[in-house]
């Protein structure tokens, strides 16, 4: 019997296991040299001055908004078509999410719609590089500059992607990546903030560690002994050196990870071009996609629901996920949300196909055959 197809799976090898074990053996498992190295490598990769590791995307984005002083009464423009974490952090700081429409071809925020939603209370625009495809950050950045707003790039899924050759991570006032298991580079859980703003980076380092003025790493081995102070109230949003060591091993294989994902996506794209039932994702010129996810849209004329399609594929042994959710339809946000027809139809009609660096050609063949069988069933219905 052929092996079950995983929808998503981290691409780990012995190097990650060995790197984690080495940190455990060293005894310095948090706030140590591996974290410093991981941060330096990530900052260099993104072409920015600073990278600050945290426990997740969510805690990282929260800290950025908090340090920027975003709070009650302030508005943050955000697409609704996103994982709900993007919106939740706005509420965590007490601010108001203002939902913007997406471009249904790219699944990313529509800058023209974002512009229409700016008010005197708007402070931040938060584009999302959805599924790894960079958003139109130049248009969003221009808009923000004209209105005196900041840009926080939700690049949870977009590590390794590029916009006109420039790596995501250096294209906004601050960018936050996720290192969760479904992401391109994973440490199980974790997050990384990149920025050129030195004072932001300094406060991020402090606030992730209870407001401590001088980190354990900076104090280590100092003579005379240095003592820290706690000038402001902070949090525990730290990432461990075990995670950082795994992240470093993942960075060593980043090119391979991206290449394998690109190859899987290219096969899907070729097979689905002109497909009678599914519309493959569109990648605008100048954008390099990391293919964190592969999301397709069901054509509207089929008479089938997306869920029916997912059930049929499941029966054929093909795991799928629904497309990106519409956060404004969930109970915490429903009462304050406008109608967003493009977001709602996209959330209803999209599904994601298996993609990860370890998927074999034989497994992908099975996915492609199943898609064709479903198309034939629809045609004969
Ligand atoms: C677009 C987006 N933003 C934020 C997050 C939250 O990331 P984390 O789980 O690291 O907090 C995710 C996670 O899937 C995401 O896809």
pLDDT tens, position by position, 135-165? 999 999 999 999 999 999 999 999 999 999 9
Pocket test of ligand 1: the residue of 156, 183, 321 to mutate, having most ligand atoms within 8 Å of its CB, is: 156
Rounded to 10°, the helix 241-252/33-46 angle is 40
Tell me if 268 sits within 8 A of 363, measured CB to CB. no
What local confidence, expressed as pLDDT, does residue 302 receive? 83
Q: Please say if the pLDDT value at position 221 is more than 90.
A: no
C-alpha 58 – ligand 1 centre gap (Å): 7
Question: Which atom of ligand 1 approaches the CA of 179 most closely?
Answer: 10
Tell me what pLDDT residue 1 has.
Answer: 58
Confidence check: pLDDT of 313 > 80: yes
Q: How far apart are CA 222 and CA 220, in angstroms?
A: 6
pTM given for the model = 0.97
pLDDT of 114 higher than 70: yes
Whether the pLDDT of residue 225 is over 90: the answer is: no
Q: Whose Cα sits closest to atom 7 in ligand 1?
A: 57
Q: What is the pLDDT of residues 68-101, one digit of tens each?
A: 999 999 999 999 999 999 999 999 999 999 999 9
In order of their start, the domains of the chain are: 14-252 (3.40.640.10), 254-380 (3.90.1150.10)
Cα separation, 349 vs 362, whole angstroms: 27
Confidence of residue 60 (pLDDT cuts 50, 70, 90): very high
CB 357 within 8 A of CB 257: yes
> Probe ligand 1: pick from 8, 58, 76, 191, max atoms within 8 Å of CB?
58
User: Look-up: residue for tokens 């699944």?
Assistant: 107
Which residue's CA is the nearest one to ligand 1's atom 14?
83
Burial (CB count within 10 angstroms: exposed 0-12, middle 13-18, buried 19+), residue 38: buried
Q: Can you tell me whether residue 197 is helix, strand or coil?
A: coil
Coil, strand or helix: which one is 215? coil
Q: 366 C-alpha vs ligand 1 centroid, how far in Å?
A: 29
Which one of 64, 152, 157, 193 would you pick to mutate in the ligand 1 pocket, going by the greatest count of ligand atoms within 8 A of its CB? 157
Residues with CB under 6 Å of ligand 1 are 56-58, 82-83, 85-86, 128, 154, 156-157, 178, 180, 191
Of ligand 1's listed atoms, the one at least distance from the Cα of 189 is: 10
Q: Is residue 298 within a helix (H) or strand (E), and if so which, with residue range?
A: strand 294-298
Tally of CA atoms within 13 A in the half-sphere of 289 that contains its CB: 24
Evaluate if residue 228 carries a pLDDT over 80: yes
Which residues, including other chains, have CB under 8 Å from residue 152's CB and lie 6 or more apart?
61, 64, 65, 124, 125, 126, 172, 173, 174, 175, 176
290 close to 284: Cβ distance less than 8 angstroms: no
Residue with CA nearest ligand 1 atom 8: 57
The reply to whether 183 belongs to the active site is yes
Ligand 1: centre distance to CA 87 (Å): 10
How are beta strands 294-298 and 278-279 bridged, if at all?
Answer: antiparallel
pLDDT of residue 315: 96
Q: How confident is the model at residue 300 (pLDDT cuts 50, 70, 90)?
A: confident
Choose the catalytic residue: 123, 183, 209, 297: 183
Whole-number Å distance, alpha carbon 130 to ligand 1 midpoint, is 10
Beta strand 174-178 with 150-154 is parallel
Which residue matches tokens 């920015």?
A: 48
- d(C-alpha 176, C-alpha 191), whole Å: 7
């Amino acid at each position: 019997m052929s092996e079950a197809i995983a929808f998503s799976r981290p691409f780990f090898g012995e190097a990650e296991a060995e790197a984690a074990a080495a940190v455990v053996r060293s005894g310095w498992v948090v706030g140590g040299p591996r974290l410093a190295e991981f941060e330096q490598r990530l900052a260099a990769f993104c072409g920015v001055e600073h990278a600050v590791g945290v426990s997740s995307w969510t805690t990282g984005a929260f800290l950025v908004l908090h340090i920027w002083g975003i709070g009650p009464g302030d508005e943050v423009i955000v697409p609704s078509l996103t994982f709900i974490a993007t919106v939740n952090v706005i509420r965590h700081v007490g601010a108001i999410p203002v939902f913007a429409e997406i471009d249904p071809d790219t699944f990313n925020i529509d800058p023209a719609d974002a512009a229409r939603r700016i008010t005197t209370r708007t402070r931040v625009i938060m584009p999302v590089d959805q599924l790894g495809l960079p958003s139109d950050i130049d248009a969003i950045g221009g808009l923000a500059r004209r209105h005196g707003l900041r840009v926080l790039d939700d690049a949870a899924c977009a590590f390794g992607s590029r916009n006109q050759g420039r790596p995501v991570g250096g294209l906004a006032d601050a960018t936050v990546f996720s290192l969760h298991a479904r992401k391109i580079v994973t440490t199980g859980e974790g997050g990384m903030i990149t920025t050129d703003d030195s004072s932001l980076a300094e406060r991020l380092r402090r606030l992730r560690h209870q407001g401590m003025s001088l980190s354990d790493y900076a104090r280590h081995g100092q003579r005379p002994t240095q003592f820290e102070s706690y000038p402001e109230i902070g949090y525990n949003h730290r990432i461990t050196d075990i995670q950082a060591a795994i992240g470093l091993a993942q960075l060593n294989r980043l090119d391979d990870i991206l290449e394998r994902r690109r190859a899987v996506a290219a096969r899907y794209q070729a097979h689905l071009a002109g497909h009678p039932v599914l519309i493959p994702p569109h990648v605008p010129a100048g954008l390099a996609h990391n293919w964190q996810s592969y999301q397709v849209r069901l054509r509207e004329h089929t008479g089938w629901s997306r869920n029916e399609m997912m059930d049929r594929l499941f029966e054929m042994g093909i795991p799928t996920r629904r497309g990106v959710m519409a956060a404004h339809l969930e109970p915490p946000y429903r009462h304050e949300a406008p109608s967003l027809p493009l977001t709602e139809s996209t959330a209803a009609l999209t599904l994601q196909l298996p993609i990860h660096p370890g998927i074999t050609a034989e497994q992908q063949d099975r996915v492609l055959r199943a898609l064709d069988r479903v198309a034939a069933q629809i045609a004969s219905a």
